[in-house]
Structure 1
Amino acid sequence: MIKKRVDVVTLGCSKNLVDSELLIKQFQAGGFTVEHDSSNPKGEIVVINTCGFIGDAKEESIETILNFADARKRGKIKKLFVMGCLSERYVDQLSDEIPEVDKYYGKFNWKDLIADLGMSYRADLINERSLTTPDHYAYLKISEGCNRTCSYCAIPLITGKHQSRTIESLVDEAHRLAAKGVKELQVIAQDLSYYGLDTYKKRMLAPLVEQLSQVDGIEWIRLHYAYPAGFPTDVLDVMAASPKVCNYLDIALQHISDPMLKAMRRNVTKAETLELVQLFRDKVPGIHLRTTMIAGHPGETEADFLELLDFVKQTRFERLGVFPYSHEEDTYSYKNYQDDIPDEIKQERADAIMSLQNGISRDINEAKVGSRIKVIIDREEDGYYVGRSEFDSPEVDPEVLVSSAEPLTPGSFYEVEVTGAEDYDLLAHVV
């Protein structure tokens, strides 16, 4: 007899996390006790929600599956199921190579797992999730899939075409989250810029964000994963006008050299990128931009890389990450380009960008010393209360380490004065 206890392990991005939260809610409705990302899984059933984005993520997913497959062979667990992006893409290979897994599911058919464990899928819980984040913030996934054709990206192969959720369903979910005590929404999608084009035949990010900002109880809304080509600039007006919409935008630019942008099939030029970045800063003074770059895409010359390095130096992004190029099967790059940049050169270039960014980040932080900012407290740790400003997304961005003589409440907002700066984090005390 299998005990009604499940451990769910989530790998990869916040979009995967939302899927896990939907699954957990279904399990709980079926009478199961569920632990998420436990350091010591104790259930007899384990479900791994995998990532298949790039090489490192795939390796982590496979290593996790193998570890639990070994635990199953040793009788530590009774059932092992795998879902998500990796198994969506490689289900046949995984089934052959790791047969200890009871069953593989893709990214979208995880509902079958509910039935396979003898439960009925609860359609009435369609907008209901069991949050794995702290009670005061949640991710709101506004669409699935991607219609872009970037040379290096396997995500459209995994997720399929872009599918926008309706504004009504998203506002309904936001109300439900607010009723649970959520104060901060991280609005996420593979491509925010495309939102609405399929369902409404026009870009609808701005109307969506405006309606979300009217939900009582929601105090911060932060936007993640925009695309520069076709960016809906009217959302900047909403951001500038609404105190609830954080002056923050996560937009992946990937490169600045025109030859590289063309090779990457980004459908945007250097001049258009520079104009867009300037528009962000003009429309929303003080906006903090988060972006990612790719180092070592096939054909990237030393001149291309130096142009990228200069762009980072001149633009001074508040938040920036770098990926060494990963040659992913079945992508346009894989089929049409030779992976001609040695791995060590890719890493050297990525390291050079991050070294430059470290100094930029510290300069930006030091300029905040003496200023007063609003933070939300996430937790208490190592003698500090750890909070974030409107410019800091959880998990990926810097934090504000707050000193206070009086106890602070996680999930509450406080005004703090910045007293010190590190490369990434700020030091502050409550005003």
Structure 2
Amino acid sequence: MKARTLKKDKVNIITLGCSKNMVDSEVFSGQLQANGIESVHENRKLDHNIVVVNTCGFIDKAKEESVNTILQQVDLKRSGKLDKVYVTGCLSERYRNDLMNEIPEVDAWFGTMELPLMMKQFNADYRAELIGERMLATPKHYAYLKISEGCNRTCSFCAIPLMRGQHVSKTIEEVVAEAKRLVNMGVREIMLIAQELTYYGLDIYKKRALSELLKHLSDVPGLTWIRLHYAYPHKFPLEILDVMRERDNICNYLDMPLQHISDNMLTAMKRQITRKDITELLANVRDRVPGICIRTTLITGFPGETRDDVEDLKNFLEEERLDRVGIFTYSHEENTSAYGLVDNISAEEKEERAQEIMEVQQEISLEKNQEKVGKVFKVIIDKKEAGRYLARTEFDSVEVDNEVVIESKKALPIGDFVNVRITKAFDYDLEGEVVA
């Protein structure tokens, strides 16, 4: 009689939400691999038998997407196509008890900081010596690098501290060691992420230490681009701009979520800053790093927002002409201080306001792109699609910003840097040709 063979487990990790979640999934995947367990990210072959859904619980749309994804995986389990479904991440951290009752088919639920417990489900050891080692879910030429966890801010709309806890910085040595490992894996560009980059170091060094961290990172051989995401404007450490200006491999790019600009909204959101402070900060940033690209995120539809507040935002964008703008509609989140306010603006009105604001930014983006026509920029080649290459300048981050479309008969290796002359400009993208 033929002996029965047991098929080894294969784990598919589905990541929802932000880049910080992606890093968590990559770390989890690295731990599985170190224990001899095969893992994949977003597996389309459907040849896995276990799924781990890393959820987002930030706003209503993200929560809905997370729940729908869990239900899809549970359906696959019911039909015999999966053995196990596990759930982790922010939604699980925040609503675990409710979800356990509503979706009992899930085999286990884990919070945001329970990787050692999750490993036990696989009869595997959590190996602390592997901290910082990951299996990348991104293309190998770029990666996200998380420099801290959690947040000490008390913005009235935000539930992230409820899901991620208080701010905890990694040491400079840990971050640099992780950057070196990434470079050895082929990474050329790292995007520094945290809930708040500019708070970095206060907990362990008793001072804001992002500028010192940047100096050490920029000395890592082979690291061509370093990009800064999520800088809080209140008490912004201006010295990081001096390092940015002095170091060639730190991109002239700053992602600084402002959320709003009218003083009554900033006060209601507990942002600890005024419109005057913001305009002075932006002027200072541009003065210290001429030509810097500034990206921001805004919220519209916050309780009490008036038409005048919306006009303030539109006027602000026209005056400041920021390079990149993303916008969220307000989501009424339990256990935030804003939850006590009346969410009296309809979903339709919130969307209309967001559209109105983005139409202003669309014009600005087109005008700024048109100014680039005829100029030469260094770009990184991200991928090839439909016979054309898609690339980015130092002023563009992955997925959220502009792309440069290149047609080239000569092969352009993914992850390489080339010089491109811009030939056409559109609202949010550019076309260019390679120059020697």
TM-score, normalised via structure 2 length: 0.97
Does the 8 A contact of 1:248 with 1:289 survive in 2? yes
Instruction: Indicate yes or no: 2:101 matched with 1:90.
Output: no
Give, as a single letter, the amino acid of the residue that structure 2 aligns with 1:139.
Y
Report the equivalent of 1:386. Answer: 390
Deviations 1:171-191 (A, max 9, x none): 111111111111111000000
Give, as a single letter, the amino acid of the residue that structure 2 aligns with 1:65.
I
SS of aligned partner of 1:297: coil
Which residue, 310, 313, 327 being the options, matches 1:305?
Answer: 310
Report the equivalent of 2:262. Answer: 257
Structure 1: 5+ residue stretches without partners: none
Deviations 1:350-395 (A, max 9, x none): 0001111111111111100000000010111122111111011111
Displacement of 1:301: 1.1
Give, as a single letter, the amino acid of the residue that structure 2 aligns with 1:369.
V
Report the equivalent of 1:405. Answer: 409
Q: Distance in 1 between matches of 2:179 and 2:26?
A: 15
Matches within 5 A, 1:284-295: 284-295=289-300
SS of aligned partner of 2:230: strand
Report the equivalent of 1:367. Answer: 371
Give, as a single letter, the amino acid of the residue that structure 1 aligns with 2:419.
E
Displacement of 1:139: 0.6
Deviations 1:103-136 (A, max 9, x none): 0001110221211211111222112111111111
Instruction: Indicate yes or no: 2:123 matched with 1:114.
Output: no
Q: Distance in 2 between matches of 1:127 and 1:194?
A: 21
Matches within 5 A, 1:269-348: 269-335=274-340, 337-348=341-352
Query: Which stretch shifts more, 6-15 or 176-185?
Result: 176-185
Give, as a single letter, the amino acid of the residue that structure 2 aligns with 1:288.
C
4+ runs deviating over 3 angstroms: none
Give, as a single letter, the amino acid of the residue that structure 1 aligns with 2:257.
A
Between the aligned residues of both structures, percent identity stands at 53
Give, as a single letter, the amino acid of the residue that structure 2 aligns with 1:348.
E
Structure 2: 5+ residue stretches without partners: 1-5
SS of aligned partner of 1:320: strand
Matches within 5 A, 1:133-172: 133-172=138-177
Report the equivalent of 1:422. Answer: 426
Q: Distance in 1 between matches of 2:154 and 2:129?
A: 36
Does the 8 A contact of 2:300 with 2:329 survive in 1? yes
Q: Distance in 2 between matches of 1:61 and 1:127?
A: 26
Give, as a single letter, the amino acid of the residue that structure 1 aligns with 2:214.
V
Deviations 1:229-257 (A, max 9, x none): 01111000011111100000001001110
Q: Distance in 2 between matches of 1:382 and 1:292?
A: 31
- Aligned CA RMSD, in angstroms, stands at 0.9
Give, as a single letter, the amino acid of the residue that structure 1 aligns with 2:418.
Y
Q: Distance in 2 between matches of 1:351 and 1:23?
A: 38
Q: Distance in 2 between matches of 1:3 and 1:98?
A: 27
Q: Distance in 1 between matches of 2:215 and 2:343?
A: 44
Matches within 5 A, 1:44-83: 44-83=49-88
Instruction: Indicate yes or no: 2:142 matched with 1:127.
Output: no
TM-score, normalised via structure 1 length: 0.98
Q: Distance in 2 between matches of 1:303 and 1:351?
A: 16
Displacement of 1:42: 2.1
SS of aligned partner of 2:8: coil
SS of aligned partner of 1:294: strand
Report the equivalent of 1:222. Answer: 227
Displacement of 1:268: 0.2
Q: Distance in 1 between matches of 2:114 and 2:277?
A: 40
Give, as a single letter, the amino acid of the residue that structure 1 aligns with 2:324.
R
Report the equivalent of 2:399. Answer: 395
SS of aligned partner of 1:198: helix
Displacement of 1:41: 2.8
Does the 8 A contact of 2:116 with 2:125 survive in 1? no
